[in-house]
Chains A and B, each alone.
Chain A
Amino acid sequence: MDNLVREVTIVGGGTAGWLTAGVIAAEHMANSESGIKVTLIESPDVKPIGVGEGTWPTMRGTLQKMGIDETEFFRECDASFKQGAKFAKWVTGDEDDFYYHPLVLPEGYEKINLAPYWQPQSAKVSFADAVSFQGHLCEKGLAPKQITTPEYAHVANYAYHLDAGKFSAFLQKHCTEKLGVRHVLDHVTAVNASENGDIASVSTKQHGDIKGDLFIDCTGFNSLLLGKHYNIPFICKKHILFNDTALAVHVPYQTENDAIASHTISTGQSAGWIWDIGLPSRRGVGHVFSSAHTTVEKAEKELRDYIRPSLGQQADEISIRKIPINPGHRKLFWHKNCVAVGLSAGFLEPLEASALVLVELSAAMISEQLPANREVMDIVAKRFNDKFLYRWDRIIDFLKLHYILTKRTDTQYWRDNCLVESIPEDLQTLLKLWRYESPWQLDFDHADEVFPSASYQYVLYGMGFETTARHTTRRSDNIELAQMTFQNNAQLTQKLLAGLPNNRELINKIKQYGLQKI
């Protein structure tokens, strides 16, 4: 026995398991003799939760690296475009209260911070509209590219909405047929430790003991390896993010030509919010709420009220699935020779679709830094833990930001969300700073931040936050450049509104003709 890492064994299927398998197998040549051997053990009767029907733009790169054809992905996964999120009723709760968090960076972001130049105009134009064209594209139901744009390339930056169940099956097929991942359909009955405390193997009902040099725990909320076997504690974040229950429904379209929204719609409720995700074949709608602030019955009523305008009477008959949420994450993610990816590592409410992106980021880091042998594994494990603890904290901060800027005082839920003791200290500090300086590149420590400063700008200024103008001038002040950049954005907006196709039309065309590789 040497201590080289040759076999990666993933326990659990679902999107987390198959994405991780795909990323590692593609990079480490699992389909060649000289590559890493990747095995995925999936229980035949545990149904995956299928979190997150929304992705980040990073998913394009992830799929491309795995050698997936984007047209096939659209055809097989009921996928559609996502150009950002529209937050309705988060600030005042009024009917006309909404703002956009688009996926494109503000115009000229590499050259100029437009926020201070926009602030005096805030009564006339929303921040997102002043600095980006994408909110307009979403409002008009346009797609982020043309049929002539090559696969994975964009005119306007985009991510996806998808059917998580279909996506998982699609990835499984790709991983097993193209990437050389070995698929074992069996129950894991025991976790077998070796002398040094590593996991030596897992026992299965029909396939005996399956070894591995690195085990990846993708067992969902079960957290079979990291949680149950290693007893790594779970850190609950419910005191910051109150939502602990979700009610989900599938909403059919009334006709096959109904518009598909190219953005996630998040609408504030009395004690939570409702997501609304448009897939080509249906909408996925759900209510995430705090059970301490409302009852399931009341939450269900708000959900049925939300879908009634599009469904009529059917809204009262449609069946609802209840999903418990325990917001938080494990204290560590990589322990010994075991690393958790997906729900087994933690979960937060789906407000900014952070679940799948965390899977991608985890898989990418495991794959990139895959330890060559056991000796260096602890070094990589420490790096991984440091990085992901930081990332979870930043995501929690960013999600909480959406709540603390509200002006809603109509329910205890919104009032409680603004209590200082529920706000992480880091976030309080940043908020204090942002009263006098808008978020910019150096506000965050890492080169590969999960949310760039632009995202903070979109949420802050979308929600009516005010940064006081500096009393002194700076050498880099450049009002001409700012005005020119605003104008560029206005021109670009007109050009794209005229040139981009309807979202559903493009998705239909992609399914019919396909996107070109070049």
Chain B
Amino acid sequence: MPNHQLLDNINHKDVHVITQHTPEFGDNSSYSHVFLSEFRDVQAHYPIFFQKNAQTGQFEAIALFGLAGEENLFLTDAGWQASYLPLSIQRRPFLIGFQESNEDGVISEEPVIHIDMDSPRISYNQGEAVFLPQGGQSPYLQQMSTTLMAIHQGHQQTQAFIDSLQQHDLIESVEIKVTLDDDSKHAMNFLYTINEEKVAQLSDQVVADFHRLGYLKAIHMILASMPNMSHLIALKNRLLK
């Protein structure tokens, strides 16, 4: 069970975070959310798909790490086998919470940093210090803070992108069928991708709008990420040997 706490330099004064990515520290998920701002880096390593959020049914963009539920083919005892870590993996064990602030009677929601104190990454003697001895933010925490802000902004941007794709019927479901070297078959039927034909039929006006918003680039990066599926399958086949 996650144990989310508002981060502060009194309660969490001595907390350290283990930043290595090996199986004992979690991350054994077959995907993570990805954001528009990081598509360029993500597409170089992982296939980008859309899937429906199990709680809301709304589409979200993901990078795929494995072919089955809890399988992360990049996560090995020797560390994460790719040079780019998606923001939502980097951030762990930190997350964004919202705090109500009252300034001159105006109530607004301020993003604040929370920490999951039940994460296996939490330590008191190894890893990166969160706070400096005098209580200031460590460079590591400042970097995490930047990551969280990128996620916070990326979330809204990515949602707007997905809304536009849906508005123009550009998302289609895709069934991935894989036969591995040992002849075992895997099928994934919960993934969605870009409908290339529909993209080709977009009107000039929409293409211009999409270009201006950076959506055209994002669409092409999603399409260009597809060959990474072969990489996933190769990683999986390597495990069979």
Residues of A within 8 A of B (CB): 146-149, 509, 512-518
Contacts and interface: CB of A to CB of B under 8 A. Distances in A.
Interface string B152-169: 000000000000001001
A83 B53 CA distance: 25
A518 B57 contact: no
B192 interface: yes
Given A517-B166, A518-B192, A148 B172 contact: no
Contacts of B53: 148
18 contacts: A147-B54, A147-B56, A147-B57, A148-B53, A148-B54, A509-B56, A509-B57, A513-B57, A513-B58, A514-B57, A515-B57, A516-B52, A516-B57, A516-B58, A516-B59, A517-B166, A518-B171, A518-B172
Contacts of A149: 57
Contacts of A514: 57-58
Contacts of B56: 147, 509, 512-513
A149 B169 CA distance: 17
Interface in B79-101: none
A517 B166 CA distance: 9
B170 to A, nearest CB: 11
Contacts of B179: none
A512 B57 CA distance: 11
Contacts of B54: 146-148
The interface size bin for chain B is: 10 to 19
A112 to B, nearest CB: 27
A149 B56 CA distance: 11
B155 to A, nearest CB: 15
Contacts of B203: none
A515 B59 CA distance: 11
Interface of B: 52-59, 166, 169, 171-173, 190, 192
Contacts of A515: 57
A152 to B, nearest CB: 14
B166 A148 contact: no
Contacts of B190: 148
Given A517-B166, A518-B192, A147 B55 contact: yes
Contacts of B166: 516-517
Q: Is the interface of A mostly helix, strand, loop or mixed?
A: loop
Contacts of A509: 55-57
Nearest to A151: B57
Contacts of B55: 147, 509
Contacts of A516: 52, 57-59, 166
A482 B30 CA distance: 39
Given A147-B54, A148-B57, A518-B171, 16 more contacts: A146-B54, A146-B57, A147-B52, A147-B56, A147-B57, A148-B52, A509-B56, A509-B57, A513-B58, A515-B57, A516-B57, A516-B58, A517-B166, A517-B169, A518-B172, A518-B192
A512 B190 CA distance: 22
Contacts of B172: 518
Contacts of B52: 147-148, 516
A517 B56 CA distance: 14
Contacts of A146: 54, 57
B158 to A, nearest CB: 16
A512 B56 CA distance: 8
A517 B169 CA distance: 9
Nearest to B192: A518
A515 B52 CA distance: 10
A516 B57 CA distance: 7
A514 B52 CA distance: 12
Contacts of B192: 518
Contacts of A148: 52-54, 57, 190
A283 to B, nearest CB: 27
A509 B57 CA distance: 9
A62 to B, nearest CB: 22
A178 B14 CA distance: 63
A509 B55 CA distance: 8
By CB atoms of chain A within 10 A, which of B55, B56, B57, B172 has the most? B57
By CB atoms of chain B within 10 A, which of A148, A149, A509, A515 has the most? A148
Contacts of A518: 171-173, 192
When A and B form their complex, which 6 residue pairs have the shortest distance between CB atoms, in order from nearest?
Answer: A147-B57, A148-B52, A513-B56, A148-B57, A513-B57, A513-B58
Nearest to B190: A148
Contacts of A513: 56-58
B50 to A, nearest CB: 10
B188 to A, nearest CB: 14
A509 B190 CA distance: 20
A146 B169 CA distance: 22
Nearest to A510: B57
A515 B169 CA distance: 15
A224 B197 CA distance: 52
A456 to B, nearest CB: 35
B240 to A, nearest CB: 29
By CB atoms of chain A within 10 A, which of B55, B169, B192 has the most? B55
B169 to A, nearest CB: 8
A516 B55 CA distance: 13
Nearest to A71: B57
By CB atoms of chain B within 10 A, which of A146, A509, A518 has the most? A518
A517 B168 CA distance: 12
A148 B191 CA distance: 12
Nearest to B169: A517
A147 B57 CA distance: 5
